[in-house]
Amino acid sequence: MAGLNPNTRRFSHDAVNVENYERYRPDYAVEAVAWFVGAAGLGPGDRVVDVAAGTGKLTRRLVDAGLDVVAVEPGPAMRQRLALSLPGVRVVAAMAERLPLATGTVPAIAIAHGFHLFDVEPALAELRRVVRPGGTLGVFSNVYAPHDPVNAAVDAVIDRFLPAGKASSAVFGVWHDALTASGAFEPSDVRSFDYPHAILSGKIAALVATSSDVAALPEAAHRELLGEIEAMSARLPPEVTIAAETQVELFSRT
């Protein structure tokens, strides 16, 4: 089936530990969100829909920027955790492929590390349906620096268990080519903002375990991978800072 990501059918983010997801995954650079708001022409109280919102890592930044945020998340545990953290935010149980929103009413949609789990073609059609003409789609990614020694050590372990390039598919997967070639949205700009990630070394395995690709591994491989990450982390200082950046890609609704 064209555009289908296999993870869409078999994976739910409720398969990961939601508290670890909230605790150890990085949120997004304040400067990146401010740039998105300005570039999209949004003002205080304007609506933005955070699709695949997870526990609200991006949602809270959008709320802090003064926007009226609707958080869309299919996973029940993720939604519950988001609602606990952000009780004033409207949280909707839905998938990107079927949004319970009126046609042409949304000024902007934000998606952070979600596209790789979508069935891309129907999701793009649905996103285009709800965004008003000339509106904005913002795709947020946290990207760890390849040259960072801690990131390189983690990748060396992960690459032994996942197909080549699989670990980076959340940022650079086939979904990205489909989006840029779709005609539904026109690429308009991209910016990156330094956003290093400080984490206790003993929690790196918990962070890695929140990856959809790692969570989808067979049980034995999942256990072995995390064991190797724990062994590697034990040789590090108690706390490390991993070089990273928040990347924002803007697309205009055609």
pLDDT, tens digit, for every residue of 121-164? Answer: 999 999 999 999 999 999 999 999 999 999 999 999 999 998 76
Q: Is residue 236 part of a domain?
A: no
Q: Is residue 226 part of a domain?
A: no
Phi, psi (deg, nearest 5) at residue 71: -100, 120
Q: Is residue 217 part of a domain?
A: no
| CA separation for the pair 156, 150 (Å, rounded) | 10
Q: Is residue 138 part of a domain?
A: yes
Residues paired with 239 in a beta bridge:
200
- The domain in which residue 136 lies consists of 6-144+168-196+245-253
Q: Is residue 59 part of a domain?
A: yes
pLDDT per residue over 83-119, tens digit each? 999 999 999 999 999 999 999 999 999 999 998 889 8
Q: Identify the CATH number of the domain in which residue 74 sits.
A: 3.40.50.150
Q: Is residue 224 part of a domain?
A: no
Q: Please determine, for residue 194, whether its predicted confidence score (pLDDT) is greater than 90.
A: yes
Q: Is residue 218 part of a domain?
A: no
* CA-CA-CA-CA torsion sign (43, 97, 128, 39): positive
Model confidence, pTM: 0.91
pLDDT confidence band for 3 (50 / 70 / 90) = very low
Q: Is residue 52 part of a domain?
A: yes
Ramachandran region, residue 157 (left: φ > 0; alpha: ψ -120 to 50; beta: rest): alpha
Specify the higher pLDDT residue, 114 or 204.
Answer: 204
Q: Specify the number of domains making up the chain.
A: 1
Q: Please determine, for residue 206, whether its predicted confidence score (pLDDT) is greater than 90.
A: yes
Give the residue from 1, 3, 7, 2 showing the smallest Cα distance to 170: 7
Give me the pLDDT at residue 164, please: 66
Give me the pLDDT at residue 169, please: 56
What does 26-94 look like in DSSP terms, one character per residue?
Answer: ----HHHHHHHHHHTT--TT-EEEEET-TTTTTHHHHHHTT-EEEEE---HHHHHHHHHH-TTSEEE--
| CA separation for the pair 144, 134 (Å, rounded) | 32
